[in-house]
Structure 1
Amino acid sequence: MSNPIDFKKVALETLRIEEQALQVLATQIDDRFSKACDIILNCQGRVVVTGMGKSGHIGRKMAATFASTGTPSFFMHPGEAGHGDLGMLVQGDVLIAISNSGKSDEIMMLMPLIKHLQVPLITISADASGPMPQNADVALTLGNIQEACPLGLAPTSSTTATLALGDALAVALLEARGFTSDDFARSHPAGALGKRLLLDVKHLMHHGDELPKVLPTTSMREALFEITNKRLGLTTIVDENNVLLGIFTDGDLRRFIEREKSFDLEVAISEVMVREPKTISENVRAVEAFERLSELKIHQFVVVNDQKQVVGIIAMHDLVAAGVS
């Protein structure tokens, strides 16, 4: 190449300009921001976000962030809105309209019906001079920021600032609603985070007929059959009321054989069982069970209720398979 480009230098300059744009945006956060939050908090319907082009892409992300953090929201394409999709917008909703120039023709075309529906309008634009912010209940502005595009044409810093402003709204609303990690997990049940926050031991434990259980008078021979049949690598030893007395694992068997030169398979399992095994409640988070197992360097917990009765077995491989590790 005759004029090689220093890509690293360009990248750092782009980031510097966009960082400066966020600093300019910070100067625009005032009572208008608080008013916008109040309007959204008092919304009886949904927050509908609209925008054309790059503003539309940012709007989609903004709506998705609202929806996942406790503010029901969706994106409405302004071009399609003029051909029927405006029916998505009803009384009780709030409309957030994004246009850096504040002059989007597609959005301005919708303005008469927005006014007719008496839907509160929040706009996001560079300044408040355009017809959109002039018609808004709250006009949020980005300030006089420089685009990172050297031509000053491609939306770069302006979309970064708009995205950050949307995140600021979402976080402010999240805190105002007292939104918790459990609430977040409920809207992300299929993701790794949802699994970590929603799954309890009771959802993954082996229970019912899967549970290996024998009485203390059971012979070691019969106990070994129980371990083999239930395929969990152990059996619990319980009294007549299902209260846990101990466990015996295949690992205990190996250690017993190494220690004893000769042994009687007819000996009562109570003679060789491990007393006071590690236990856990069925209501403990699965991820906490995983962390405890890792810390203790063991492979499974016996799950017991408040009366120390056996209700299940939870194993490390169950937790790994469920994706909570």
Structure 2
Amino acid sequence: MNKDIDFLASARRTIELERDAVNDLLSQLDGDFEKACKLALNCTGRIIVTGMGKSGHIGNKIAATLASTGTPSFFVHPGEASHGDLGMFTRNDVVIALSNSGETSEVLSILPLIKRMNAPLISITGNPDSTLSRAGDASLNVTITEEACPLNLAPTSSTTATLVVGDALAIALLEARGFSAEDFAFSHPGGSLGRKLLLKVSDIMHSGADIPRVNEKTMLHQALIEVTQKRLGMTTVTDEAGVLLGIFTDGDLRRALDHEVDMKQTPITEVMTTDCTTVHSDMLAAEALQIMQDKQINSLIVLDQQQRPVGALNMHDMLKAGVI
């Protein structure tokens, strides 16, 4: 054991070598990358990714990224493929095969069956003269100068380069398909990102009798009762037709107390805020949150087309819904 090792120097060396491997990819991109993109775009089945060992782990990540960005994809272990899982392959699929050497036996053993099935093959390999590279309908070169491993043995720089090319392919396809943030959210409904992108104001707002509401003739002390009962830290103020005139918040109450107003004799219209921020129910909750953060406010009123309150929400509702 070398107890005198400089850990920071080792880390910097690893990062620099992997950075250089990624930079080298820029000069290695050619027409085959475009060909690979077109094969994937024209695929009427699924993108099947396969690879052995560390390449397999990277392949799993590439398949997951493709699937989550609009390109249906899954990973098949090449060893399992030779023992029945080739039944998952169809002639409508496109196969992406990974092997740094391009000579991995488990991968090469299934090539004849892929070719016989006439499924297009995209190879990603660090050896452009390898069997796998030559077999590809499109061959992506991820040749590296040196692994980050000081023995130049453990897959490090090579797996990083392969992963980056996989990401480049996924993002190019995402852009070609016009894949949107909403599309992304539909494939991530269980996560916080999905909630942020899919939830609308109407999904989380308080509505009906839960909306704090007083009319323009209400006295301040009566409005305070409404604020307390509805527990949103504010109340709307409307005219006889139900049209919003203003909002009364905790901040308005503090200002009223500073001016020592008579709570029983002061109409709510004298202390309310008329220039209040409002939103509509079809707005994304994430957009409403951004408005609250930009304006440094804790509550929002939701209006219909006639400027009547149909909902109300505050920062706690955003937090409870997982938008924050």
TM-score by length of 2: 0.89
Could you tell me which residue of structure 1 aligns to residue 294 of structure 2?
295
Q: What is the rounded CA distance, in whole Å, between the counterparts of 1:224 and 1:27 in structure 2? A: 69
Could you tell me which residue of structure 2 aligns to residue 116 of structure 1?
116
1:127 is paired with a residue whose SS is coil
Could you tell me which residue of structure 1 aligns to residue 88 of structure 2?
88
Change (3 A) 1:220 1:25: closer
Letter in 1 for 2:100: N
Task: Describe how 1:82-231 pairs up with structure 2 within 5 A.
Answer: 82-143=82-143, 145-220=145-220, 222-231=222-231
Change (3 A) 1:269 1:15: closer
Deviation of 1:292 (Å): 2.5
Could you tell me which residue of structure 2 aligns to residue 248 of structure 1?
248
Q: Report the RMSD for the aligned CA atoms in angstroms.
A: 2.5
Change (3 A) 1:224 1:24: closer
1:17 is paired with a residue whose SS is helix
Q: What is the rounded CA distance, in whole Å, between the counterparts of 1:255 and 1:197 in structure 2? A: 37
Letter in 1 for 2:133: P
Q: Is the deviation greater in 120-129 or in 179-188?
A: 179-188
Change (3 A) 1:255 1:142: closer
Could you tell me which residue of structure 2 aligns to residue 317 of structure 1?
316
Could you tell me which residue of structure 2 aligns to residue 278 of structure 1?
277
Deviation of 1:69 (Å): 1.5
Q: What is the rounded CA distance, in whole Å, between the counterparts of 2:192 and 2:126 in structure 1? A: 38
Q: For residues 38-79 of structure 1, what are the alpha-carbon distances to aligned partners after superposition, in whole Å with 9 as ceiling and x for unaligned?
A: 100111111110000000001011111111211111111111
Q: For residues 257-285 of structure 1, what are the alpha-carbon distances to aligned partners after superposition, in whole Å with 9 as ceiling and x for unaligned?
A: 453464536x6544554434322222333
Q: What is the rounded CA distance, in whole Å, between the counterparts of 1:254 and 1:186 in structure 2? A: 44
Deviation of 1:200 (Å): 2.8
Letter in 2 for 1:174: L
Q: For residues 189-221 of structure 1, what are the alpha-carbon distances to aligned partners after superposition, in whole Å with 9 as ceiling and x for unaligned?
A: 333333333333222211122112233344555
Gaps of 5+ in 1: none
Q: What is the rounded CA distance, in whole Å, between the counterparts of 1:270 and 1:218 in structure 2? A: 8
Gaps of 5+ in 2: none
Could you tell me which residue of structure 2 aligns to residue 9 of structure 1?
9
Change (3 A) 1:240 1:88: farther
Q: For residues 225-248 of structure 1, what are the alpha-carbon distances to aligned partners after superposition, in whole Å with 9 as ceiling and x for unaligned?
A: 433332223322223432112233
Q: What is the rounded CA distance, in whole Å, between the counterparts of 2:2 and 2:213 in structure 1? A: 79
Q: What is the rounded CA distance, in whole Å, between the counterparts of 2:261 and 2:49 in structure 1? A: 76
User: Are 1:30 and 2:27 an aligned pair?
Assistant: no
Change (3 A) 1:150 1:252: closer
| Contact in 2 for aligned 1:17/1:147 (Cα 8 Å) | yes
Q: What is the rounded CA distance, in whole Å, between the counterparts of 2:268 and 2:12 in structure 1? A: 70
2:28 is paired with a residue whose SS is coil
Letter in 1 for 2:81: A
Letter in 2 for 1:296: K
Q: What is the rounded CA distance, in whole Å, between the counterparts of 1:93 and 1:281 in structure 2? A: 44
Change (3 A) 1:114 1:243: same
Change (3 A) 1:262 1:10: closer
Q: What is the rounded CA distance, in whole Å, between the counterparts of 2:263 and 2:158 in structure 1? A: 79
